[in-house]
Amino acid sequence: MTGLQFDVADGVAIITLARPEVRNAVNAAMAVAMSQALATVESDPQIRASIVTGQGGYFCSGMDLKAFLRKEVMRVAGGGFAGVTEARLTKPLIAAVEGYALGGGFEIAMACDLIVASEDAKFGLSEVKRGLVANAGGLIRLPRQIPIKIAAELIFTGDVVHASYLAAYGLINRLVPAGQALETARELARKIAANAPLAIAASKRVLYESQDWQAAELFARQREITDSVFTSDDASEGAQAFSEKRTPVWRGR
């Protein structure tokens, strides 16, 4: 895949942004490759979770401005910027961030379900410094993931902040020593991959969709999504494995 590396082990896909010469900035080819990688994750029942990370000590510096000047399109139909910021994924996606996650790179991280960041990682929505706006999710997601006043400052100033600053507001799941973000993300992903896939998919769907539900309909709408999990083969297998003191074998049905 152009601009990406894609590897799978232990039910976890590792998607590595691989343009270190430009701090893994996103061009059109990378966006298409990311969309294809995520499609593979979604279609392969052996993959239970995935991680996006970057080469060369960087996560992603955002949109490749030289590619932008060449009129390249870094959005993919159904996937948005970099093929991920508008993607509707059923399986958990974790960002493993070392170095810089700027502009669209920060937006990629925010599109993930979990973020693991090294202590020296830095984040920022720098679009306003380039005459642009953070419309690949920054303006929408950041004020939903941290307090709106803090989000406003980051959006309006374009300032770059340390990972510890964002961790204090709950944006980052794990803050780890430099060089350990990917391995920590792998540990989280393996924990997720060990769980029942139908249960994870239903849980993820309710987690996000319920944010827009009315209070009176919360449990009814939740049942529409989760009732089938309780009658699945995996539910029976989970109970049986527990009673037999063994590891369950999930079949995703």
Closest CA to 111 of 145, 78, 161, 149: 145
Report which secondary-structure segment, H or E, holds 251.
Answer: none
First to last CA, the chain: 31
CA 205 vs. chain centroid, Å, equals: 14
In angstroms, the CA 35 to CA 111 distance is 14
Q: Which of 42, 72, 86, 127 is catalytic?
A: 127
DSSP H or E run through 75: strand 75-76
Task: Name the strand (E) or helix (H) holding 79.
Answer: none
* Position 202, amino acid: A
Q: Which of 21, 72, 107, 217 is catalytic?
A: 107
DSSP for 144-191, please give it: HHS-HHHHHHHHHH--EEEHHHHHTTT--SEEE-TT-HHHHHHHHHHH
Catalytic, 107? Answer yes
| Pairing mode, strands 93-97 and 114-118 | parallel
Residues belonging to the active site: 107, 127
